[in-house]
């Protein structure tokens, strides 16, 4: 059976997830794509460090662990607000205003999490003892959250829970707008163009990175002086894409078909590309 969205791991998990409508995460293939692209761009030092931190079951493949953070979100209850950012009904992101959880605790959002796990990993091999932080978990969280922050509806309006409360039809199926961006668009592209598997999609995005977007890549990677990661930039782009593309023209019970799919797919490709390129550049800076 093909893995679709978050809804795979075990039956119990499936039941739990279905009972919980406000799930927020790129689907498994979105995260896989970002981590595969990232791993192919790692420096030798970063590749060695990443392989050293990955658990044995990953067999050196970061992509296989990139949805781990979604699988543990119910065990690590505290981690649930770290997958997204809620903004007021505005097409802008402001860290001091928006990066907090539902109780108002500062830094508990995906931008704060990217900063936090980046600094935990920067401690790696520089005096922080193994017991200070779990560096394997820090790597898996960072790799996942660098993906989430690039999903436009993970930096989006609080009042509709990032599109989770907007019911739509994706062609003939029932869906919600958030899930359209997590998984439906990617899965439809895979079904139509890539034999229902992620490999061809990943390859197509990688080819664009070295051709169509070649001149933009350096800008995606750069983060300003002395900065290892710049989640404020990624989040600002995210909310803008949410307004310009994800929410645009969509109402409760909208039927989304080819017009929406064909115009939004390039946006998804670019966000996946940026997520992968940037995850690599952050890991390369951490483990230089
Ligand atoms: Zn997530």
Q: Ligand 1 centre from 69 Cα, in Å?
A: 6
**How remote is the CA of residue 81 from the centroid of ligand 1, in Å?**
9
CA of 105 to the centre of ligand 1 (A): 19
pLDDT recorded at residue 128: 57
Distance from the alpha carbon of residue 195 to the mean position of ligand 1, in angstroms: 26
What is the model's pLDDT at position 224? 84
Q: Where are the domains of the chain?
A: 28-287
How far does Cα 75 stand from its chain's mean position?
20
Closest to 249 in 3D by CA, of 217, 257, 212: 257
In 3D space, the residue among 121, 178, 111, 116 whose CA is nearest the CA of residue 146 turns out to be 111
Cα 87 from Cα 192, distance rounded (Å): 34
Q: Ligand 1 centre and the CA of 31: distance in Å?
A: 9
Could you please report the per-residue DSSP string of 153-182? Answer: GGEEETTTTTTTT-EEEETTEEEEHHHIII
Q: What is the per-residue DSSP string for 195-250? A: TTSHHHHHHHHHHHHTTTTHHHHHHHH---TT-S--HHHHHHHHHHHIIIIISTT-
Q: Return the number of other C-beta atoms located less than 10 Å from residue 7's C-beta.
A: 15
Q: Range with the lowest mean pLDDT among 6-10, 101-105, 189-193?
A: 6-10
Nearest residue to 235 (alpha-carbon basis) of 148, 164, 159: 148
Output the CA 127–ligand 1 centroid distance in Å. Answer: 30
- Report CA(248)–ligand 1 centroid distance (Å): 23
pLDDT at 269 over 60: yes
Q: What is the pLDDT of residue 15?
A: 39
Give me the residues paired with residue 252 across strands: none
Of residues 70 and 20, more confidence is placed in 70
Q: Is 256 a residue whose pLDDT tops 70? A: yes
Distance 236 CA to ligand 1 centre (A): 18
Predicted TM-score (pTM) of the model is 0.90
CA of residue 185 to ligand 1 center, whole Å: 17
Report how far Cα 278 is from the mean position of its chain's Cα atoms. Answer: 11
Using the mean position of ligand 1's atoms as its centre, give its distance from the Cα of residue 160 in Å: 17
Q: Average pLDDT of 134-142?
A: 97
225 CA to middle of ligand 1, Å? 28
pLDDT of the residue at 14: 42
Distance 288 CA to ligand 1 centre (A): 27
Indicate whether 102 pLDDT > 80: yes
| Per-residue confidence band for 123, with pLDDT thresholds at 50, 70 and 90 | confident
Cβ atoms of residues 286 and 228 within 8 Å: yes
Residues, CB-to-ion distance under 5 Å, ligand 1: 25, 83, 148
Read off the pLDDT band of 126 (50, 70, 90): low
Tokens linked to 260 = 């929406």
Average pLDDT, the chain: 91
Among 273, 229, 198, 235, which Cα is nearest to 41's? 273
Mean pLDDT of 246-272: 98
Task: Look at residue 10 in the predicted model and tell me its pLDDT.
Answer: 40
Q: How far is CA 259 from the centre of its chain?
A: 24
Region 11-24 average pLDDT: 40
Residue 191 C-alpha to ligand 1 middle, in angstroms? 23
Q: Indicate the SS3 state at residue 130.
A: coil
Task: Calculate how far, in angstroms, residue 148's C-alpha sits from the geometric centre of ligand 1.
Answer: 5
Percent of all residues in the chain with a pLDDT value above 90, rounded to a whole number: 85
Q: How far is the CA of 131 from the centre of ligand 1 (A)?
A: 25
Reported as a pLDDT band with limits 50, 70 and 90, residue 129 is: low
Dist. CA 129–CA 131, nearest whole Å:
5
6 Cα to the center of ligand 1, angstroms: 9
Work out whether strand 167-170 and strand 173-176 pair parallel, antiparallel, or are unpaired.
Answer: antiparallel
Q: What is the dihedral of CA 116, 71, 26, 143, to 10 degrees?
A: 40
CB 128 within 8 A of CB 245: no
Query: 25: CA distance to ligand 1 center in Å?
Result: 4
C-alpha 82 to ligand 1 mean position (Å): 8
Q: pLDDT digits over 176-203, tens only?
A: 999 999 999 999 999 999 999 999 999 9
State in words which class domain 28-287 has: mainly alpha
């Amino acid at each position: 059976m093909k893995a679709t969205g978050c809804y795979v791991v075990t039956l119990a998990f499936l039941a739990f997830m279905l009972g919980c409508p406000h799930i927020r995460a790129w689907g498994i293939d979105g995260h896989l794509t970002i981590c595969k692209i990232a791993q192919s761009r790692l420096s030798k030092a970063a590749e060695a460090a990443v392989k050293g931190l990955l658990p044995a079951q990953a067999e050196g493949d970061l992509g296989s662990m990139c949805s781990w953070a979604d699988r543990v979100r119910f065990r690590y209850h505290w981690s649930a607000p770290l997958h997204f950012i809620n903004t007021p009904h505005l097409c802008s992101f402001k860290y001091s205003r928006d990066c907090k959880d539902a109780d108002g605790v500062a830094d508990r959002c995906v931008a704060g999490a990217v900063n936090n796990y980046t600094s935990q990993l920067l401690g790696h091999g520089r005096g922080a003892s193994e017991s200070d932080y779990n560096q394997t978990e820090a790597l898996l969280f960072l790799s996942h959250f660098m993906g989430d922050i690039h999903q436009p509806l993970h930096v989006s309006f609080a009042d509709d829970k990032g599109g989770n409360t907007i019911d739509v039809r994706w062609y003939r199926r029932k869906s919600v707008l958030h899930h359209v961006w997590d998984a439906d668009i990617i899965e439809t592209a895979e079904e139509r163009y890539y034999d229902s598997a992620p490999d061809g999609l990943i390859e197509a995005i990688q080819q664009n990175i070295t051709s169509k977007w070649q001149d933009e890549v350096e800008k995606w990677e750069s983060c300003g002086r002395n900065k290892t990661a710049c989640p404020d930039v990624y989040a600002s782009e995210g909310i803008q894409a949410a307004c310009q593309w994800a929410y645009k023209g969509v109402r409760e019970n909208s039927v989304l078909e080819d017009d929406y799919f064909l115009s939004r797919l390039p946006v998804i490709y670019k966000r996946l590309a940026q997520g992968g390129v940037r995850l690599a550049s952050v890991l390369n800076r951490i483990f230089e």
